[in-house]
Amino acid sequence: MIPRTYAQWRHCISVECGILLSADFIAQRLAVWRNPQLEETQRFRRLYGDAHWQAVQGWFLQAAQEQEGAPAVPPLAAPAQKTG
């Protein structure tokens, strides 16, 4: 199942995958997702689309906020596609 909500995503990461959403893990994943030049990020966007890519960034930020109460930096927006 591909998560569609924060609650589903958090359950998938922490329960089904057994991954601790630590500050370090969150920072590492955000560093990848915020770099559109990385192959991993490009592959994720191709497979799941820009909307899900942005949602996942937002969910990592929400998890970070829950841990630290820190202000979040908004997810990186997808570049506008050229037409014509």
Q: What is the pTM of this model?
A: 0.78
- Is a pLDDT exceeding 60 seen at residue 80? no
- Is a pLDDT exceeding 60 seen at residue 5? yes
Q: Which residues contact 24 (CB under 8 A, 6 or more apart)?
A: none
> Residue 69: which region, alpha, beta or left (left: phi > 0; alpha: psi -120 to 50)?
left
* Cα(36)–Cα(22) distance, integer angstroms: 23
What was the pLDDT predicted at 68? Answer: 76
DSSP state letter for 14 = I
- Which of residues 83 and 9 earns the better pLDDT score? 9
- Is a pLDDT exceeding 90 seen at residue 73? no
Domain boundaries, the chain: 22-68
* Cα(70)–Cα(80) distance, integer angstroms: 29
Tens of pLDDT, residues 8-56 = 999 999 999 999 999 999 999 999 999 999 999 999 999 999 999 999 9
